[in-house]
Amino acid sequence: MRFTPLALALVLAACGPADERGAPATQTTPSATAPRGPDNLMLRISRVGGEARVYGYPRLDTVVWRAVGVPAPQRVLAFDDEAGIITYVSAAGLAARVEFRLGSAGLVSKSRLTGLASADGSTTYGIAADGAVERSGPRGSWRWKPPMPARAVFPQADATLLVLGERRGESVVWRIRPPSTRIADSVVLPKVDHSLRTQVGDRLYLGSGSTLTGVRTRTMERTSTIDFDDSIELLAATPSGDRVFVVTQKDNAIQVVDRYRERRTGEIALPSRASDLRIDALGRYLLARPAGRDSALVIALGTNRVVGAVATSWRSDLPFVAPDGGIALAQGRDVVVMDGETLHRTANVVGGAADFWYPFRWTGFRPRDARLDRPVEFGGPRDSTARRADSAVRSDSTPRGTPVVAPRDTAAPSRATQFTVSFAALLQADKAHELASEIHAGNETARVVTATRDGATIYRVVLGPYSSREEAERVGREAHQSYWVYEGGP
């Protein structure tokens, strides 16, 4: 859970597969420019399996990594940006992974599990045929048989696990901390529809008939229930979790639920009912699929405005919103990218629809700084005579008792790089301050900073800045909230 966009021009070119097949896992050094923050990257895997390639984005004409023998993909579960691992569900329904640092890919387990889920990209949970929950990953295998068969699993950022089950016409959510099998807490809910559940941050939203309810995952308390006129059919939430989007059976509009007020606060009118929703990972756009059509409605979430409709096949990977705000679409054999605001075509990747696409951001493909491998050199005159390590180095002409003054560095001091942890960018100050008061890491509490964009004031919930990306990432993880790290001050 980690991200921020770069405003870059899209220059895409098709990469023919004929000149890339049969190569072993390799890594190519990208262009030696000084990037800011993580690099925007695009993983492309042949939809029938075999070869995987990573391209720099938006320049899709340079392969920075590749591997062969990759299982055919169905959907991505999560990306572990520390280990450099993407875990996904294969076309055969098995958990698989791509390991960039090792240059390899393969199945995680041959166990046929349903409801596969991962919070960190390395540890995978699923449900066995007998309703037991199984885990595989670096912490080892683990299995737990709940009191009733499990229907869904929700791994949490704090290494706990929420498990959804049913009993006597109602649903129950258990919380456990693997490898322990002791139930730490639970909450009872109305019977939950199998497909109506979504989690963002510390809220788990569940649909039951025409009622939306939620669970605060830290305290296992139920939120207020929200009733709709018809049965709920679709749920989606913003990455920050401040809004939940609900589509009901007979209504063309998308209902907007405010997380903090715990009630409906608006709606987005559509020309026809949506049959699927897909949220931008950075919370800028919502993509809605009109029922019975191969197209997508692009909705700007800052204003809840329908920008327009674009033609696209609706797959598990496409359409999606790219890191720079472009909308990637599957049109026939090609993948087309359009500007999110104007819907003007900016690029066309010929034959790109034959691949499975996944955008991500990472620093792991950057070349190692050669200065890290240089031996340490200490200033002062060379002398073949061994000296004590803690003695001062002097020339023979320096009188005893004269202090040695280090040479002054006449170069202009460079500005220290800073990194900020961002949790949300909201349009209402009260919501931002309320969210900030709930976010803690160590002795720190998040704060709100303001910025102006397109004439509107944006309230950003942040921690930091910090002197290194590693420290900022550590603070983000300690906060147990969705976050992303960007280079620079708040």
Mean pLDDT of the chain: 82
pLDDT 10s digits, 25-41: 544 444 444 446 889 99
Over 70: is that where the pLDDT of 389 sits? no
Distance, in Å, from the CA atom of 200 to the CA atom of 146, rounded to the nearest integer, reads: 24
Q: What's the whole-number mean pLDDT along residues 68-94?
A: 95
Over 60: is that where the pLDDT of 382 sits? no
Distance, in Å, from the CA atom of 439 to the CA atom of 478, rounded to the nearest integer, reads: 10
Over 60: is that where the pLDDT of 408 sits? no
Q: With a threshold of 0.85, does the pTM exceed it?
A: no
Q: Which of 2-16, 111-125, 247-261, 344-358 has the lowest mean pLDDT?
A: 2-16
Over 70: is that where the pLDDT of 359 sits? yes
pLDDT 10s digits, 214-262: 898 889 999 889 999 999 999 999 888 889 999 999 899 999 999 888 8
In the chain, where the domains are located: 419-487
Over 50: is that where the pLDDT of 395 sits? no
- Residue 398's pLDDT is 38
Which class does domain 419-487 fall in?
alpha beta
Amino acid at 442: G
Residue 249 token pair: 């059976």
Q: What's the whole-number mean pLDDT along residues 9-22?
A: 36
Over 80: is that where the pLDDT of 474 sits? yes
More confident residue, 395 or 380: 380
Distance, in Å, from the CA atom of 419 to the CA atom of 258, rounded to the nearest integer, reads: 30
Q: What's the whole-number mean pLDDT along residues 31-57?
A: 83
Among 46-55, 366-375, 453-462, the range with the most confident prediction by mean pLDDT is: 46-55
Residues 274, 484, 52, CA angle at the centre, nearest 5°? 70
Distance, in Å, from the CA atom of 94 to the CA atom of 279, rounded to the nearest integer, reads: 25
Among 121-125, 370-374, 382-386, the range with the most confident prediction by mean pLDDT is: 121-125
- Residue 372's pLDDT is 57
Over 80: is that where the pLDDT of 296 sits? yes
- Residue 380's pLDDT is 54
Distance, in Å, from the CA atom of 219 to the CA atom of 158, rounded to the nearest integer, reads: 13
